[in-house]
Structure 1
Amino acid sequence: MMKNWFKNIGPGPLIAAAFIGPGTVTVCTLAGVNFGFALLWAMVLSIIATVVLQEMSARIGIVTQKGLSEIIRTEIKHPIFKILVVLLMFSAIVIGNAAYEAGNITGGVLGLETLFGTANTQVSGVTFNWFSLVLGVLAFVLLYFGNYKVLERVLLGLVIVMSLAFLFSAILTKPDLSLILKSAFIPSFPDDSLLLIIALIGTTVVPYNLFLHASLVKEKWQTTEDLKLARKDTMISVILGGLVSMAVIISAASIQGDTITSATDLAKGLEPLFGRFAKYFLSVGLFAAGLTSAITAPLAAAYVASGCFGWTSNLKNSKFRAVWMLVLGLGVVLYSVGLKPIDIIKFAQVSNGILLPFIAAFLLWIVNKSSVLGRHKNAIKQNIFGFLILLISILLSLATLNKVFSLNLF
């Protein structure tokens, strides 16, 4: 039975690995430190939204055997509108992921530094961190020499390690289970929590994951008979990922203080209360989160670029490789030389915040087209959930714009 379960695992763990990055860990840490268990319900909402959208994306990939960006490009008939949409997808995902890759590398490095200390070296007056090079090389080797099955197994292993690390950290804090259940299912809105609530949703419902999922499922499954396996794979993986994020919130809730601003602060803060094992668990988890996202972000960018320009989306294709190499290389360089790509990250936040409602709308449009999905198009219940999520994504977009440009919309 266990052997069959592992055999039927698809790209779901890769999707979980993609959304549990250092940014998610940091946001969850801030949620726990500042509001305790009060915002756990936002993660439950995020899990539901992610399962619904990722299932639609996976269904498109399996039925059409095409990536999402390719489907969007071919289904839009107006030439000018098609160019605008392709440019939006390319800039938001490819360029945006290059900026976020620096954050992914940062997370992995912080996890290693918490365990082993700093590894900085001065090279021609520039501070260089060797841990960032180690992470970059690991990601490069897996993407260049690996195939889909290799990536699937490696990322599954990292997700399991990451999950156990964060879940054990939460268990060590001995939380109040009744309060956790209450907070998970009864929404509350503490003062000054709105943007953090939307950030929790935004770090889980990730636009580039929708593209990544549609592209990866066709590597695993080729017939519509496999839709049931894909749904099970998506649900289990996303729920597991959501539980990991909730475990970070629970761990952070055990410490109150303004000095806790990241997962590394959380690891150090838990050590005097719960022993050095808490520090080790969280550090390993942060390293795994950084490495998995450092692999999936360039991969997603390459799939999107391939769909936008009609390239072959194959791990061995030279153009495909060129895109993920560019994204990975930029991430390592931006971190290693100590640059803070604030403006690039700001652009990435804005573009992804704007992109999510568009992609959610395109998803709903495509999954309701009989010409694309035939009898596998959306049912009424799926549309109800889909349109509710679309409204949430619009709120997320407005909140992102409000935060970056201080528009005072809320």
Structure 2
Amino acid sequence: MSGDTSTGVASVSRGRLGEYVAEMGPSWIAGAIAAGPASMATLVTAGATFGYALLWVVVLSALSGALAQYLAMRLGLLTETGIVDAVETHLGEGWAWVLVSDAVLAAGLAQLVIMKTLADVSETVTGVDARIWGVAWALVLAVGLAGRGYRFLEIVAKLLVTAVVVAFLASLVVVPVDVGSAAGGVVPGFPGGLDSALVAAGILGGAVHITLITMHSYTMRARGWTARDYGLASFDVGSSMLVAFGIYSLAVFLVAASVLHTPEVAAGELTAISASQALGPLVGPSAEWLFLLGLWAAAVSTLGGNTIVPPYLVADKLGWGTDVSDSRYRGLLVAVALISAAGAFIGGAFFPLLVLVLAFGLVGTPFALLVVLYLLNSEAVPERNSRLANVGGVTLVGITAVLAGNFIREQIASGLGGLSGFVVAFAGVMVLAMVGLGGKFLRSRYA
């Protein structure tokens, strides 16, 4: 270790705000993924279908996302290694493979659907065929990430997340919000039964996602952060996940709940593009174009951030470097970027697919959170979690598990097919992994 944690924690109060703003970055890549088209699809669906009733989930998602990233941040800083290496060292190779498989499946599925989203939106804006856009964006990803590396992605993420937040705040300015009805939405409840439970799982899944949790140690390593940077890293998490992502989520949800939850708009048939078009005659063309601009920027930022997740995890598991100076890692980046072009050739509307992607990712998230909590309460770190952090972490595991369970129950109730059957089987494996990990922790704790 290059410094004790007490030095890092004390720096929270001593650090200057200007320095923190200039140096922040790793958590903004997580924020770029969180504030993406999948989250937007779920937030629009929630607002258009249930009005303000699920506002409590939107608020909870920002708080939960910040907590999850804080725990991941602690693990990365205190171990000063990637999460896969930490798992393999302290839990064993089998557990490392389970974590890698869990995260790569979630990130891979998301990659294809996000590329479809970006290609379709690009076609709407320009009139050029979405499949051409898919190939073009894949090449841009491959050249940009493999050639410029992490800092290129970080700069793009900060710029685009800021643009997304500004775009949707501007949309909110021209949209009339019913403050009284919105206040009633902070009371927890599921007004639409299983349908609203699925949407709630999608909302929370956008903020508390296995890809965001597992990538964080690698982005901090790319910046060279250690325990001495605890204050800066904490500010980074708060500014990106709590503030930027929280504002984004509230703005998108309130716009949808205020304008799209009307008899004139068929909520069940909404797509992200049709939602933007529906805003035009209701609140003016400026809102329509601001919405489209925000959707486009969100798709670009999310695709770039999501691309680096599988290469980070696989390279760490195989003992390779996790930056572009290692040609093997660079090859993985290029492969993931180019394969993502296939997403543009997927048929159908991307809007419902985005909700499904978030809910699927949420199924694997409780296990990742348990892994982080396990390591933060073991000999893997020099300073174990506080009781408050553990209570928050366990609560977060419970919330994500319940919402993921509701999603699985909805899949079973609607009849198992190819995709839904795979999702249920995947959930069963994750439950077994969580039970096994819990048993391992109890044996090590009380042996």
SS of aligned partner of 1:209: helix
Provide closer, same or farther for how the CA distance between residues 162 and 340 of structure 1 changes in structure 2, counting only shifts above 3 A: closer
Distance in 2 between the 1:322 and 1:153 partners?
22
User: CA distance change for structure 1 residues 202 and 337 in 2, over 3 Å: closer, same or farther?
Assistant: closer
> Residue 389 in 1 paired to residue 391 in 2?
no
Please name the residue that 2:117 is paired with: 107
Pairing of 1:300-315 with structure 2 (within 5 A): 300-315=309-324
Match of residue 431 from structure 2: none
Question: Is 1:191 matched up with 2:178?
Answer: no
- Map of 1:114-125 to 2, 5 A cutoff? 114-117=124-127, 119-120=128-129
Aligned mate of 1:289, from 271, 277, 298: 298
Identical aligned residues as a percent? 22
Q: Which residue of 2 aligns with 1:248?
A: 252
Please report how far the alpha carbon of residue 212 of structure 1 lies from its aligned counterpart in structure 2 after TM superposition. Answer: 1.0
TM-score by length of 2: 0.81
What do residues 169-207 of structure 1 show as CA deviations (whole Å, max 9, x unaligned)?
Answer: 122112134543442x33232133222112211122111
TM-score for the superposition, normalised by structure 1: 0.87
Give the 3-state SS of the residue equivalent to 1:241 in structure 2. Answer: helix
Q: Contact conserved, 1:99 with 1:331, CA < 8 A, in 2?
A: no
8 A Cα contact 2:38 2:358, kept in partner? no
Describe the shift of the 1:200–1:337 C-alpha distance in structure 2 as closer, same or farther (beyond 3 A).
closer
Please report how far the alpha carbon of residue 19 of structure 1 lies from its aligned counterpart in structure 2 after TM superposition: 1.3
Indicate the SS of the match to 1:38: coil
- Residue 248 and residue 358 in structure 1: after superposition, are their counterparts in 2 closer, same or farther (change >3 A)? same
C-alpha contact (below 8 Å) 1:96/1:347 kept by paired residues:
no
SS at structure 2 position matched to 1:129? helix
The answer (yes or no) to whether the contact 2:59–2:246 under 8 Å persists in 1 is yes
Alpha-carbon spacing, 1:339–1:141, altered in 2? closer, same or farther (3 Å): farther
Mapping for residues 197-236 of structure 1, pairs under 5 Å: 197-236=200-239
Residue in 2 that maps onto 1:366: 375
Matches of 2:199 and 2:370, distance apart in 1: 24
Q: Distance in 2 between matches of 1:393 and 1:252?
A: 24
How much has 1:137 moved relative to structure 2? 2.6
Q: Report deviation, 1:378.
A: 0.9
Question: Which residue identity is paired with 1:294?
Answer: L
RMSD: 2.7
What SS does the corresponding residue of 1:373 show, helix, strand or coil?
A: coil
Structure 1 letter corresponding to 2:303: A
Q: Given that residues 58 and 213 in structure 1 are in contact (C-alpha distance below 8 angstroms), is that contact kept between their aligned partners in structure 2?
A: yes
Q: Is the 8 A contact 2:139 2:337 kept in 1?
A: no
Secondary structure of the 1:372 match is: coil
Residue deviations 1:4-53 (CA, integer Å, cap 9, x gap): 34312121211110112221111111001011121111011111211111
SS in 1 for 2:401: helix
Q: Is 1:101–1:330's contact at 8 Å kept on the other side of the alignment?
A: no
1:71-107 C-alpha deviation (Å, 9 max, x unpaired): 1121114xxxx32x33333333224322211211122
Distance in 1, matches of 2:62 and 2:235, equals 14
Q: How many Å separate the matches in 1 of 2:212 and 2:34?
A: 8
* Aligned mates of 2:150, 2:359 — CA distance in 1: 31
Counterpart position of 1:161: 163
Residue 378 (str. 1) matches residue 385 (str. 2): yes
1:218 deviates by: 2.1
Query: What SS class does the counterpart of residue 311 from structure 1 fall into?
Result: coil
Quick one: distance in 2 between partners of 1:225 and 1:327?
Answer: 34
Which structure 2 segments of 5+ residues have no match? 1-15, 416-423, 425-447
Matching residue of 1:129: 131
Separation of aligned partners in 2, 1:76 and 1:322: 29
Aligned length: 392
> 1:264 Cα deviation (Å)?
0.9
Alpha-carbon distance change, 89 to 291 in structure 1, aligned in 2, over 3 angstroms: same
Q: Hey, what's the Cα distance between the residues in 1 that align with 2:356 and 2:190?
A: 28
Distance (Å, rounded) in 2 between the aligned partners of 1:147 and 1:322:
12
**Hey, what does 1:20 align to over in structure 2?**
35
Runs of 4+ aligned residues of structure 1 deviating over 6 Å after TM superposition are 344-351
State the Cα deviation string for residues 242-291 of structure 1 (Å, max 9, x = none): 22122111111212222552221111000112222112111111111111
